[in-house]
Amino acid sequence: MSDSTPVLQIRGLHKSYGDLEVLKGVDITAKAGDVVSLIGSSGSGKSTLLRCCNLLEDSQQGEILFKGEPITWKGSGLDRAPGDAKQVIRIRTNLSMVFQQFNLWAHMTILENVMEAPVTVLGRDPKEVEEKARHYLDKVGVGDKCDFFPAQLSGGQQQRVAIARALAMEPEALLFDEPTSALDPELEQEVVKVIKDLAAEGRTMIIVTHDMKLAADVSDHIVFLHKGLIEEEGSPDEVIGNTVSPRLQQFLSSTRQ
């Protein structure tokens, strides 16, 4: 891959659930080090787009390229699905996802949660993985909670563990699906700080967020989705500071209330 080849590229993506068309031809590009934020009202297709990126959802039309490599498909339309299972696993492990609901294993300690995928999916040496897991838990500020179980942690702490779990896969990019929306404002700021720190390190990230300040602060590029299409996109200064679309103006006005 050359330096100019995007980590992730989406071209003309369409996604339907039966007769309901959620994405109607969307293009997204994230180069190495880019932070791309997806904003828009509920039902605009943001989370669906993110889930299509790492193949948790099957799209019906369009291309998805990871580091220049196109996804192999079989079938067409509503019957389209990835055609290479090994490719799916490889791409998913390189596009680590952080969900709105933390999805931690309740019966495992925090350390075990972070170690699980690198050991079982990637087959890495447990001792090496443990060292890195402790490093990433320290990095997100919960290194002292290694022996705790998820239920013993606050929501903000659990989400930071989920971020450490994603980092432990050492992915090419991080995908965040509304990472702060399940948290109260005080705990939200704990997670926002971690995301800002990751952005400052130059990590490639795609973030679905309702937090316009976060989007403005960390993004290189903001995409406003409306009814399954890109209504407006550009730098934070362009999208938030010099809004063109009346629909986006209305959306931003509602988020400031």
pLDDT tens per residue across span 107-134: 999 999 999 999 998 999 999 999 999 9
User: Is 1 a residue whose pLDDT tops 50?
Assistant: no
For the chain, what percent of residues have pLDDT higher than 70? 98
Q: Which two tokens stand for residue 148?
A: 């705790």
pTM: 0.93
Output the pLDDT for position 3: 63
By the 10 Å C-beta count (0-12 exposed, 13-18 middle, 19+ buried), 19 is classed as: exposed
231 Cα distance to chain centroid:
20
Q: What is the pLDDT of residues 209-248, one digit of tens each?
A: 999 999 999 999 999 999 999 999 999 999 999 999 999 9
Task: Please name which of 49, 68, 8 lies closest in space to residue 226, comparing C-alpha atoms.
Answer: 49
By the 10 Å C-beta count (0-12 exposed, 13-18 middle, 19+ buried), 237 is classed as: exposed
Q: Which two tokens stand for residue 126?
A: 């447990």
Q: Where are the beta strands (DSSP E) in the chain?
A: 8-17, 20-30, 35-39, 61-66, 69-70, 73-74, 81-82, 95-98, 173-177, 205-208, 221-226, 229-234
Average pLDDT value over all residues in the chain: 93
The answer to whether 243 and 232 have CB atoms below 8 angstroms apart is yes
Contact partners, residue 35, CB within 8 Å, separation at least 6? 199, 203, 204, 205, 206, 207, 218, 219, 220, 221
Task: Please name which of 31, 20, 50 lies closest in space to residue 177, comparing C-alpha atoms.
Answer: 50
User: Is 85 a residue whose pLDDT tops 90?
Assistant: yes
Distance CA 214, CA 199 (A): 11
Architecture in CATH of 8-255: 3-Layer(aba) Sandwich (3.40)
Measured between its terminal Cα atoms, the distance across the chain in Å is 45
By the 10 Å C-beta count (0-12 exposed, 13-18 middle, 19+ buried), 93 is classed as: middle
The mean pLDDT value for 172-180 works out to 94
User: Is 162 a residue whose pLDDT tops 80?
Assistant: yes
CB atoms within 10 A of CB 147: 10
| β-strands 73-74, 81-82 pairing | antiparallel
